[in-house]
Amino acid sequence: MYGILVLEDGTVLKGKGFGAEKEILGELVFNTSMTGYVEVLTDPSYKGQIVTMTYPLVGNYGVDESWYESEGIKVEGFVIKDLTGKELDEFLKKYDVPGIYNIDTRFITKKIRSKGVVKALLKTSSEPIEDSKIKEYVERTKNHRDLSEIDLVPMVSTEKVIIHKSENEVAKCVLIDCGVKKSIIKCILDRNCTVIQVPYNATPEEILDYNPDFILVSNGPGDPISVKETIETVKSLIGKVPLTGICLGHQIITLALGGETYKMKFGHRGGNQPVKDLNRDIVYITPQNHGYATRDNSLTGETTVCNINLNDNTVEGLISKNKNIFCVQYHPEACPGPHDARHLFDEMINLGLNYRKCKEEE
């Protein structure tokens, strides 16, 4: 199958198509993970994006459903250098997602690092793709809406409440689903904490009716400013119950507290981001997947920065002890990536249990 990748600046890369025979538009980003392509493909945070893997060999260990981070592939398209095995091709076909290989992914990565993320068109076809169409493809790519103009969270959030019951329940968490990864839910359940997964637009009253020990605002795709209903809900919950957040959830909490977020040049996507825990004076190697960040110094008063990225000094965590808030920009559940920060799930649960104890003693 033939494949072509067209960037909004007019760059054209030709390769071989695999997966679905299709044409799609999206924001082109890169991921530096050496493994975990199934988890990347099924991560809801990639909704609206075409993902390029910087590691050249992809597909070599197959596909297994137990690795899925959601119910199927969420990326718009997939760009790789070398395709190994048939399973990845069949996986993309199953979920109607196009891919392209025999592409210089190093060139793409260097361009994105230099110019920033770009809009792109990916087309696969059983017939040769005519050069006469390229000018049209470039124009369509330029005119494609920026992801910041699209509210992506409703496309990946649960539509109904799902209760993940722990048999040996010690705590209860309401998880506001903005596009949660399955492994986040699993990490909480593994710690004997029931998870009540609610839609992104659940009201504060609906959430508080479950009498949670703490609330977790999940990861998800797109610009946090677009998730207005969730921001307002979180704002109204501050001080009423402990609040925690991961990735997009961290950004939503930032906005609910009156802080600011901004779009990064090319973001952090991969499994090797060094984060310094300022309170413990230790470093975690963390998996990350985000294109937006909290603006440093935009929050004042009781909320302080507790984690920073050692590559670029961006904000990686916030804490407000008086308001019982703790959130991080990185992914403590990993999948894929190192498990350095998985203990943060214990801290989230302990935050809730300590709050409950204080309330009972009042």
Concerning whether 90 is annotated as a catalytic residue, the answer is: no
Distance from C-alpha of 194 to C-alpha of 336, rounded to nearest angstrom: 24
Residue 95, CA atoms < 13 Å, CB-side half-sphere: 21
Question: Rounded to whole angstroms, what are the CA distances from 38 to 12, 175, 304?
Answer: 27, 24, 36
Catalytic residue among 173, 250, 333, 335: 333
Bridge-partner residues for 29, per DSSP? 51
The distance from CA 2 to its chain's CA centroid, rounded to whole angstroms, is 30
Q: ω before 44 within 30° of 0 (cis)?
A: no
- The CA-based angle 128-132-135, given to 5 degrees, is 120
The values of phi and psi at residue 33, to 5°, are -65, 140
Concerning whether 87 is annotated as a catalytic residue, the answer is: no
Cβ-proximal residues to 32 (8 Å cutoff; 6+ apart), any chain: 54, 55, 269, 270, 271, 272
If residue 347 lies in a helix (H) or strand (E), which one and from where to where?
Answer: helix 343-361
Structure tokens given for 264: 């990064």
Catalytic residue among 250, 268, 290, 331: 331
Q: Which residue has the tokens 């994105």?
A: 112
Concerning whether 331 is annotated as a catalytic residue, the answer is: yes
Bridge-partner residues for 51, per DSSP? 29, 78
- The CA-based angle 318-319-320, given to 5 degrees, is 135
Catalytic residue among 173, 178, 247, 327: 247
Q: Which residues are catalytic?
A: 247, 331, 333
